[in-house]
Amino acid sequence: MSAMPSAAAKPAESYDVVVVGAGFAGMYMLHRLRGQGMTARVYEQGSGVGGTWYWNRYPGARCDVESMQYSYSFSEELQQEWDWSERYAPQPEILKYANHVADRFNLRPDIQFNTTVERAVFDEATNLWSVATSDGNTAMARFFVLATGCLSNARMPDIKGIDRFEGKVYHTGHWPHEEVDFTGLRVGVIGTGSSAIQSVPIIAEQASQLTVFQRTANFSIPARNAALTEEERQSFRSRYPEIRQFAREVARNGIYTEMPDRGALDDGDNERRSKYEARWASGGLTFMSVYNNLALEQAANDTAANFVREKIAEIVRDPQTAKLLQPNNHPIGSKRICIDTDYFKTFNRPNVTLVDIKSTPIEEITDNAVRTGAKDYEVDALVLATGFDAMTGSVAKIDIHGRDGQTLNDKWVAGPRTYLGLMSAGFPNLFVITGPGSPSVLSNMIVSIEQHVDWIADCVSYMRDNGLDTMEAAVEAEDKWVAHVNEVAYATLYPQANSWYMGANVPGKPRIFMPYIGGVGPYRQICNDVAAKGYEGFVMAGVEQPRKAAAS
C-alpha cells in the first residue's frame, strides 16, 4: 500500500484515511498521517475544532485534569510555547489551545467542517471504505478512523411535556456559542453530574431563583483552582520529560502525582484523616490517590467516602439539604469523581433550592414549571445537565457496515466488543481512538489519545511497508480481551455504581463496564507487546495472500 497523490491531483473524494471528528484525537491523527505521507480527510460536524470543548460551553466548564498535563506532548515546541493561565483551564482557553494547534500545524485544509458522517460501508471486493456524508458526497478510503470522542453525544432526557415548555431550554453538552445571561430569571437545573456541579455555582450568582433537581448525589472534591505563575509554568516545563514518562508508563490514570505505598487501613485514624485533609486542601482528582486500595476494598473506600460526607455536612448549613447531597449509593470514585468550586457552599444561598427527584420523580414539564409528585416548581429557563450517551453513543449514530453487511450497532447490541478498544472483529481497517475496552475515560484523555493515535499510525505504516491491505481483530482475541476487561473491572468496586461507565444513564442501554480499568501503563505495554509480535491477535492480509491471523 502506497500513499496516494496529493489532494489536488487525485480523484475527488479519495483518500488513504477518513477520520471522523476534529477534537484532540482527530487533529493529532491527521498530523501523524500527514507526517507519514498519507492523504487524509477529517469530517467534523461542528463549525470548528475542539470536539468536547467546542460543544461544552456551559458556565463554569473546565477540565478536571490540570492544564499543564491536559495538553499534547508530541511537540516539544508546543509544550514550551503555550502559556496556561490557570491550574484548571476553563473551556474558552482549552478551545483557544485547540485552535492554536490547528493553525500551528496547518490542519484546517484537510478538515471539512459542518459535515456529519452518516454511513460507512466496507467493500470486500476493493477493501475500501465508502463513507457517505451529510453534504451528499461520498469518500473512498483504505482506512476509516473514528475520533468521535467518549463524551460528545449529549443525551436528551425523555421527560413528558418538555417540548411544550415556553421558556428557554439549554443542554450543557450543546450550549449556545453566544453568552447566556440568567440575570433575574428563575432557573431549573436537571441533573447533578460534573457539568451541573461546575455550572450551578455560576448560575446561582445570576438567577433570582435556582432550583436544582437531583436524582443521585455525587462525590465532589474542591478544585482549589488558581492562576498559574510564570515560575510554576517554567518548573513544570523543565520537568516535562519526567512528567510525561510517568503519566504514560507508571500512573494508572495518566496523571502525574505521588503514588501511594499503602492501603487506607494500614494507617491509624489520625494519620489517615491527616492525609485526607491534606489532599482535600490541595484539591483535585488526586484525592483518590491517597491510598492504593480505595478502588479495591469496600472498608478502605468507606474511610474516604465518610470523610467527604463529613465535609459536605460541615459546608452545608441546612442538615436536610446536606443529607441529600451526601452520596450513599455508590463507592467514592466508582463514578468519575467530580471537582468543583464552591458547589456545596452554593446550597447555603437563599436563592438556591435542592429538590430530591429520587423520592418524588419529575412527572412532566408544563409550559412554565417542573412538576414533581410534591409540587410545581415554576421556572423561566431549564438547564439539562443530563450527560452523554458515553463512549458508544457517537459511534452508534453512524450507520457502519462491515463484512457480510453486518452493522456495528447490531454487533454491539448487547454491549461493545473490541480488541484492545482499537478494532472490532468483522470491520477491517476500522480503528476507534479511545474506544470501549481501553482506559479512555478512566485516564487523562490526551495521554490515552496520543497513545492510540501513535499505535494506529505505526500500524498503518507497518501495513504499507509490508504490502498489507486489510487488518481486523481476530474473533478469539476479541473474546479474550472482552473477558479480560470485565474480569479486571469486577475485581474492583467500580461496577457497584450505576454510572455512565456502565451505560446506566441511558435507558435500555446494555449494562457492561466499557473502559479498561487495568491502568494506562499496563495497557500501553500490552499494546506495545501486541505490535512487537507482528500485531498478535489481528488478522492481516495482502492482495495476493489469504487472510490469516498474525503469529501468536
Per-residue pLDDT tens digits for 453-476 = 999 999 999 999 999 999 999 999
The 8 Å CB, 24+ separation contacts for 500-506 are 500/335, 500/387, 500/388, 500/390, 500/391, 501/335, 501/336, 501/390, 501/441, 501/442, 503/390, 503/391, 503/392, 503/415, 505/155, 505/386, 505/387, 505/388, 505/390, 506/155, 506/389, 506/393
Is the pTM higher than 0.85? The answer reads yes
Mention every residue, 6+ apart, whose C-beta is less than 8 A from residue 144: 17, 18, 20, 120, 122, 129, 131, 429, 430, 431
* Rg (the chain; Cα; Å): 24
Rounded CA separation 443/250 (Å): 12
Rounded CA separation 525/296 (Å): 22
Rounded CA separation 480/514 (Å): 15
Residue 73, C-alpha cell as written in the block: 506532548
Residue 490, C-alpha cell as written in the block: 469486577
What pairs with residue 211 in β-bridges?
Answer: 188, 353
User: Is residue 149 within 8 Å of residue 159, measured between CB atoms?
Assistant: no
Task: Report the first-to-last Cα separation within the chain, whole angstroms.
Answer: 24
Residue 37, C-alpha cell as written in the block: 505521507
Mention every residue, 6+ apart, whose C-beta is less than 8 A from residue 207: 182, 183, 184, 185, 186, 187, 351
User: Is residue 291 within 8 Å of residue 486, measured between CB atoms?
Assistant: no
Residue 284, C-alpha cell as written in the block: 483535585
Which pLDDT value is given to residue 512? 67
- DSSP letter string, 2-20: -PPPPTTTSPTTEEEEEEE
Report the run of H or E that residue 227 belongs to, with start and end: none
Backbone angles phi, psi at 220, to 5 degrees: -145, 140
Rounded CA separation 476/488 (Å): 18
Which pLDDT value is given to residue 252? 87
Which pLDDT value is given to residue 508? 57
Report the run of H or E that residue 459 belongs to, with start and end: helix 445-465
Which pLDDT value is given to residue 499? 54
Rounded CA separation 499/181 (Å): 31
Q: Is the dihedral of CA 368, 370, 372, 378 positive or negative?
A: negative
| Of 152, 168, 199, nearest in space to 385 by CA | 199
Rounded CA separation 300/33 (Å): 46
Which pLDDT value is given to residue 426? 97
Parallel/antiparallel/unpaired status of strands 381-384 and 186-190: parallel
Rounded CA separation 493/358 (Å): 23
Residue 351, C-alpha cell as written in the block: 436563592
Q: How many CB atoms lie within 10 A of CB 39?
A: 20
Stretches in the chain below the pLDDT threshold 70: 1-12, 150-155, 387-393, 497-512, 543-552
Q: How many CB atoms lie within 10 A of CB 380?
A: 18
Residue 205, C-alpha cell as written in the block: 450568582
Rounded CA separation 38/32 (Å): 9
| Of 420, 453, 422, 460, nearest in space to 26 by CA | 453
Rounded CA separation 275/279 (Å): 6
Amino acid at 403: R
Which pLDDT value is given to residue 534? 95
Task: Read off the pLDDT of residues 157-169 as tens digits, 9 standing for 90 and up.
Answer: 788 999 999 999 9
What pairs with residue 339 in β-bridges?
Answer: 221
CA distances from 287 to 8, 27, 46, 140, 305 (A): 53, 32, 35, 48, 11
Residues in the chain: 552
Which pLDDT value is given to residue 106? 98
Which residue is listed with cell 480481551? 481
Which pLDDT value is given to residue 108? 98
Parallel/antiparallel/unpaired status of strands 138-146 and 430-432: parallel
Instruction: Return the DSSP state at 482.
Output: H
Q: How many CB atoms lie within 10 A of CB 340?
A: 24
Which pLDDT value is given to residue 154? 58
Cα 273 to the center of its chain, rounded Å:
32
Which pLDDT value is given to residue 186? 98
Longest Cα–Cα distance in the chain: 75
User: Is residue 147 within 8 Å of residue 23, measured between CB atoms?
Assistant: yes
Q: How many CB atoms lie within 10 A of CB 146?
A: 25
Residues 472, 475, 480, CA angle at the centre, nearest 5°?
Answer: 115
Residue 71, C-alpha cell as written in the block: 495538553
Rounded CA separation 416/218 (Å): 26
Which pLDDT value is given to residue 10? 38
What pairs with residue 401 in β-bridges?
Answer: 121, 407
